[in-house]
Amino acid sequence: MSSASEISKELKSLVQEFEQTLDQASSLQDIEAARVDYLGRKGRLAEIMSKLPGLPNEERPQIGRKANEIKQELNSLLSNTISDIDKVKEDEGQALFDPSMPGRTPDIGSLHPVTKVINDICSIFVKLGFDVVTGPEIETDFYNFEALNLPPGHPARDMQDTLYISESVVLRTHTSPLQVRTMLKRKPPVAAIAPGKVYRRDSDLTHTPMFNQIEGFLVDTDVNMADLRGTLTAFAHEIFDPGVKVRFRPSFFPFTEPSAEVDISCVMCGGRGKSATGETCRVCKETGWVEILGCGMIDPAVFEKVGYDSEKYTGFAFGLGVERVAMLKYGIGDLRMFFENDLRFLNQFS
């Protein structure tokens, strides 16, 4: 068993040895190793302290105090050495990090595929002389329905599952109110393209309560259905591929007469309806065609509402679904991908 004098000798030489060890240390790792060795839970100081309970009662307090002093001394030796090393490294122009290491590259954002398609579509029409216009997502019944030849109680209002804010205020169900807003402000000739979010009470695999539409319309003297066909065919060739086939199918909208829906030959299966391995094409459901928009010649009743002379002017209008075009253009099978903000999806468009 160690006596009090032996223990105090050990404590003293501990300081000297610690000093020598620190003198030889040349890095923070060396210093940390020395700290663990001397001051750690199973270090040399702890080992000496563990002998204290074996001392006679009257000697224990004195040696205990001594041990605490030594501990403090070791700690201050330690912190002096650390700041010395810091200084030396700074003097040498190399602080504790290496400034020549390449930095971390920050993530750079990119446009959402839907935004990209909106930009692409608008710029095609801007090149053709159309102006870009926008308007509110919260609309009155007048702009969303009534001025578009959809009076209250009209059965065609049911075609669109409207989200009502009040009896006369709705979340717009389509971008067609922008026809009305623009025509009320401008006199013909007018050619405008109007992108925007629209809302419907609808949610399943192929429908989301919010989606994007682009409205386009042109009013002048002598505008006819051939102008509409030519414009939309040129557009389809530009946004998809010059080889894509375009067909017009008779349809109905209250604000156009005659009305049509436009299909393009399926971009997934090349219009064959089957994949190269003979499986049914899921995109066109084997028909070889996919619908991309609704259109028609603007109904004279709409011109009456906005104060255009329907004897003098004619015009065409169309409305297309942006997400639908984006799905076809990029081969995306699930509409919900656009709204989940999964970076693994979005990064593919940067």
Closest separation between CB of residue 148 and ligand PHE, Å? 8
Phi-psi region of 331 (alpha: psi -120 to 50; beta: other; left: phi over 0): left
Minimum distance from residue 118 beta carbon to ligand PHE (Å): 16
Q: Do residues 147 and 302 touch, judged by C-beta distance below 8 A? A: yes
Least gap, CB of 259 to ligand PHE (angstroms): 6
Q: Which residues contact ligand PHE (rule: CB under 6 A)?
A: 174, 176, 215, 253, 256, 294-296, 317-319
**Judged by CB, which is closer to ligand PHE: 21, or 256?**
256
For residues 38 and 211, which CB has a smaller minimum distance to ligand PHE in the complex? 211
Q: How far is the CB of 319 from ligand PHE (least distance, A)?
A: 3
Closer residue to ligand PHE, CB minimum distance, 176 or 231: 176
Closest CB to ligand PHE among residues 248, 318: 318
For ligand PHE, the closer CB: 150 or 269 = 150
Residue nearest to ligand PHE (CB): 319
Shortest Å distance, C-beta 269 to ligand PHE: 26
